[in-house]
Chains A and B, each alone.
Chain A
Amino acid sequence: MKKLGNLREHPGFISLMASLLSILTGLVFGLVLLLILNPANAFAGMGNMLSNGIRDMGNVLYSSTPLIMAGLCIAFAYKVGLFNIGASGQYTMGAFFALVCAIGFQLPWPVCLLAAILGGAIWGFFPGFFKAKFNVNEVLTGILFNWIGMNLVNFLIPNLVIGGNGMLSTNWGGSASDRTAALADANPSAILPRLGLNKLFHYSYMNIGFILAILVAVLCWVILRKTVFGYELRACGLNRNAAQYAGINANKNIVLSMVISGALAGLGGGFYYLAGGGQLNLLQEISSVGFDGISVALLASCNPIACIFSAIFVSYINLGGIAMQSQGYATEATQIVISVIIYLAAFSLLMQTKIAGFLKRSGKKQKKEGVK
């Protein structure tokens, strides 16, 4: 009984309960929306949505990998008091660097991943540098660099010729001229090893990227929580004046944390496009992964470890939404439902205070009754 009482007051328990309750609220609202949009199929649609992710766990985990990285990217910068809205651009640059190494230079996957890190880091450097040097808001630079990155990549991919070969699918025996070559055609050694994970999870593209993403999340947590560097970074984020007073070079830390944040997003791009399933499209639209990363990070209260779970949740709901379409819901409708669920799930902080208050009151009541 005493142990249970201790558990009830543990902050971890309360925040877990809060997250679960928020998710439940989100699902109930989602169901209500489905009932309004198309009452006949609402329960079947919801059922599809919830069961699809469980049936297709491999795909959920596979799709969550870039989301984990995007979430870590946002969370890391946020801990230092920066809002890295340029995650999409950094993700795209990471993907581009990885693909140049893979298709253009025919290099193996570890080198391609390092290139992805480099690409994201370079694109993260700019917002950090301009913030530190000229006090330009990182949100402004981040948004502009999203556009610059996307257009640069769209311009370079069809025009870049390395070793006599282009990067487009058509250069490697494919039929589509609006995307990069499939790695299976161009350079199988650049595809991330699957190590049997594809068989384990019954999803052919499942690979070690997911495992690596988890390791990176743990690494982020260790850096922020256990190291002197993390102590400095968080001090800068929590109180820049006090950090300066303590002799911490705040400007250096701003640039460094944006570089790391960008590298995380870039690595996410590498994970996705080196899996063998994705080909970089030449679309006039900024990748949505960076923005999904914001919800992942906020759902996780910017805790790197929690980012893993929130990314899996977002990926699960996203895939579920696609399955819902078979019950006659339009893509737009499913998008609305997905957004509502994720939005409400982010209310966990509010829930947390409510639960803590409730537990305290009920705990007191028990104590009083015990005394009586």
Chain B
Amino acid sequence: MNLAEAAKNPEYVIEMLHITKEFPGIKANDDITLQLRKGEIHALLGENGAGKSTLMSVLFGLYQPEQGEIRKNGQVVQIRDPNDANDLNIGMVHQHFKLVECFSVLDNIILGVEDTKMGFLQKRAARKKVLALSEKYGLKVDPDALIQDISVGMQQRVEILKMLYRDNEILIFDEPTAVLTPQEIDELMQIMKDFAAEGKSILFISHKLAEIMAVADRCTVLRKGKYIGTVDTKDTTMEQLSAMMVGRQVNFKVDKQDAKPGEVVLDVQHVTVPSKVHKNNAVRDVSFQVRSGEIVCIAGIEGNGQTEFGYALTGLEKQSHGTFTLCGHDISHATVRSRSKDGMSHVPEDRHKYGLVLDYSLEQNLVLQRYWQPDFRNGPFIKFDAVRQYADRLIGEFDIRSGQGAVTTARSMSGGNQQKAIVARELDKDPKLLLAVQPTRGLDVGAIEYIHSQLVRKRDEGAAVLLISLELDEVMNLSDRILVMYEGEIVGEFDPKTVTVEELGLYMAGAKRTEMNA
């Protein structure tokens, strides 16, 4: 290849060279270089807070870097906003979808690039194009359905179609699999491969190593805002990648002894919880027990009543029938506060909605479950010294990292550290019963390993742990007993040592069930 040809047809379609981006108190990107070849799937791997999303936001024009340059096909380009990115054929599927809930699928796809005639929308051609694209790539959607009525997987297809509709050639996927079911993940992987085969270039942000190994050609690793390296996935292993990502060897298997179950801590009898979204009951006549010193896991596919069960158990919603007994006390109608005082801790499913007051500081969030205790108040006044001391102790013990320590606003912390703060707060209450709902959702392997080990530690200290999880790996690794929930009912109980993932899958999908008489 001669020089002129090289200039016309450079090796890299997108180059981000020596990008540095600072936020108050933190260098989110420190001299990072990322080079994307045409037609490759390039993974961007890193822990929460490593700077992946920041780097992609720079490429998408949402942030302006302090240093560094971006090149497309060898030419330096300025990307001042997402419109510039779109003009350069860069498209992005954000982790949290950017869709108008009350608009139809078609309206969302054409939003911003609508055809008009004398001020009136012309949708016929657009509809044709969307249907053709949807046919070609197997991205099945109903163009007239409203976004609020379709599943998350379907919403993601809409986001992908949005990029295709704009003829984007460089596709960024930010944590695309976090919200998908296993089958949907397989489909997405295939679609990404099809895109790459067609010559589109894909940037795939993830911290799920198995997916990266399965789909990516190359992988760039970031750690704490710094560039660690770029490797070919065929020359590396999951262990090597994870070591690059967290800077040390990671245990994929949870270290734990056999459980020594003691007396019954939680007794659930015939609990039924009405649904808020449909007329049927979300949880139907559920009964089981959790003993001290064991981890019981409720497995199931999202939307089968696990969330509602968690809310009812903690008192955030009311059950219509049935009783909860905690250490011999009937708590069926107790308030949230009194359940908490009786020894229940709760790591909630949605850390932003329930777990944290995002505009409060870290220390204010760390005392959220105990600010009213005598240790932290002097009459009507808050003891600020005591709060600070307590927060500093938890920050140290649980290794919660943040820009400015105890006074950091929770909103500005990375997802992993936000979750660590919640786990620290809930575990330090010395609970008799710990309810952990999806405690590792969206976290990286380092943080997952840590939170798992903490749950096991609590179990060994004699707490009863009830884990509600959608991740089969987590279920198999962590639990001492597995209950499968399907359409609001417990359809099977298993020992993780004897059951296979396939078997669990059949129960989770409703293909099999055992009659339970707890």
A231 touches B382 (CB 8 A): yes
The answer to whether the Cβ of A163 comes within 8 Å of any Cβ in the partner chain is no
The answer to whether the Cβ of A227 comes within 8 Å of any Cβ in the partner chain is yes
Residue of B nearest to A243 (CB): B357
The answer to whether the Cβ of B252 comes within 8 Å of any Cβ in the partner chain is no
A226 touches B357 (CB 8 A): no
The answer to whether the Cβ of B270 comes within 8 Å of any Cβ in the partner chain is no
Kindly identify which residue among B348, B357, B382 contacts A228, using a CB–CB cutoff of 8 Å: B382
Contact-size category for B: 20 to 34
A242 touches B356 (CB 8 A): yes
B356 touches A246 (CB 8 A): no
A247 touches B336 (CB 8 A): yes
A228-B377, A231-B371 as given contacts; A242 in contact with B382, CB under 8 Å: no
B380 touches A228 (CB 8 A): yes
Kindly identify which residue among A228, A238, A248 contacts B360, using a CB–CB cutoff of 8 Å: A238
Number of A-B contacts (CB under 8 A): 60
What B residues does A242 contact at CB under 8 A?
353-357, 368
The answer to whether the Cβ of A235 comes within 8 Å of any Cβ in the partner chain is yes
The answer to whether the Cβ of A241 comes within 8 Å of any Cβ in the partner chain is yes
A227 touches B382 (CB 8 A): yes
Kindly identify which residue among A226, A247, A249 contacts B382, using a CB–CB cutoff of 8 Å: A226
Of the candidates A235, A241, A247, A248, the one having the most CB atoms from chain B within 10 angstroms of its own CB is A247
**How long is the Cα–Cα vector from A242 to B422 in the complex, in angstroms?**
12
A246 touches B358 (CB 8 A): no
What B residues does A243 contact at CB under 8 A?
357
**How long is the Cα–Cα vector from A244 to B368 in the complex, in angstroms?**
11
**How long is the Cα–Cα vector from A227 to B379 in the complex, in angstroms?**
9
B336 touches A245 (CB 8 A): yes
Kindly identify which residue among A226, A228, A241, A249 contacts B353, using a CB–CB cutoff of 8 Å: A241
Kindly identify which residue among A226, A227, A234, A245 contacts B348, using a CB–CB cutoff of 8 Å: A245
B336 touches A239 (CB 8 A): no
What A residues does B340 contact at CB under 8 A?
247
Contact-size category for A: 10 to 19
- Residues 72-96 of chain B, each 1 if its beta carbon lies under 8 Å from chain A, else 0: 0000000000000000000000000
A238-B357, A242-B355, A243-B357 as given contacts; A226 in contact with B381, CB under 8 Å: yes
- Residues 335-359 of chain B, each 1 if its beta carbon lies under 8 Å from chain A, else 0: 1111010000010100001111111
Residue of A nearest to B367 (CB): A231
Of the candidates A227, A229, A239, A246, the one having the most CB atoms from chain B within 10 angstroms of its own CB is A246
Of the candidates B355, B356, B357, B372, the one having the most CB atoms from chain A within 10 angstroms of its own CB is B357
Q: A239-B359, A241-B353, A242-B355 are in contact. List 14 more A-B contacts (CB 8 A).
A: A227-B381, A238-B358, A239-B353, A239-B357, A239-B358, A242-B353, A242-B354, A245-B336, A246-B368, A246-B369, A247-B335, A247-B337, A247-B340, A248-B337
A-B contact pairs, 16 of them (CB 8 A): A226-B382, A227-B381, A228-B377, A231-B371, A234-B360, A235-B368, A239-B356, A239-B357, A242-B353, A242-B354, A242-B355, A245-B336, A246-B336, A246-B368, A246-B369, A247-B337
The 10 A-B residue pairs with the shortest CB-CB distance in the complex, in nearest-first order: A247-B337, A247-B336, A245-B354, A239-B357, A246-B368, A227-B380, A238-B359, A242-B357, A238-B357, A241-B353
Chain B residues within 8 Å of A, Cβ to Cβ: 314, 316, 335-338, 340, 346, 348, 353-360, 364, 368-369, 371-372, 376-377, 380-382
